[in-house]
Amino acid sequence: MKKLMNILLLSCLKATELMEKKLHIEISFKEKIQLKMHTTMCGACKKYEQQNILLDKLLKNKNSNKLNIKIEEFKSEIKSKINK
């Protein structure tokens, strides 16, 4: 049963690979349908898809200034502990 499902609906491995491809290039109509069917039936991959899109946005969005502020905060924290 599992094997048959994998052929019709892709395995989770193949499905998640396809999601990655889809983020970067156009995938075929057949692939779109397969992916849609898979995520309809597989909760884990549905979550993966949403999270993978969020991750893509985070990576595109990453604001290094924000990180610098964070590092500065950390430095002050250390200094205040040392100088106690």
Partner 1 sequence: MQNAETDINQWVNDYTEELLRRASYKINNHEDAKDIVQETFLAAAKSLDKFQGKSSPKTWLFSILNNKIIDYYRKNSKKPKTSDIDTVSFFFDNDGGWNAPQKPNNWEIQDNEQHLLDNYEVIEVLNYCIENLPEKFNTVIKSKYYTKKKTEEICQELGISATNIWQIMHRAKLRLRGCIEQNWFVKVNK
What residues make contact with partner 1 under the rule CB under 8 A? Answer: 2-3, 6, 11-14, 16-17, 20-21, 24, 44-45, 47-48, 50-52, 54-55, 57-63, 66-67, 69-71, 74-75, 77-79, 81-83
Q: What is the rounded CA–CA span in Å between residue 33 and residue 17?
A: 15
Contact call for residues 39 and 46 (beta carbons, < 8 A): yes
- Closest CB to partner 1 among residues 33, 55: 55
Structure tokens given for 56: 């893509």
Q: Scanning the structure block, which residue is given the tokens 């909760």? A: 43
Structure tokens given for 4: 């048959």
- Shortest Cβ distance from residue 81 to partner 1 (Å)? 6
- Closest CB to partner 1 among residues 33, 53: 53
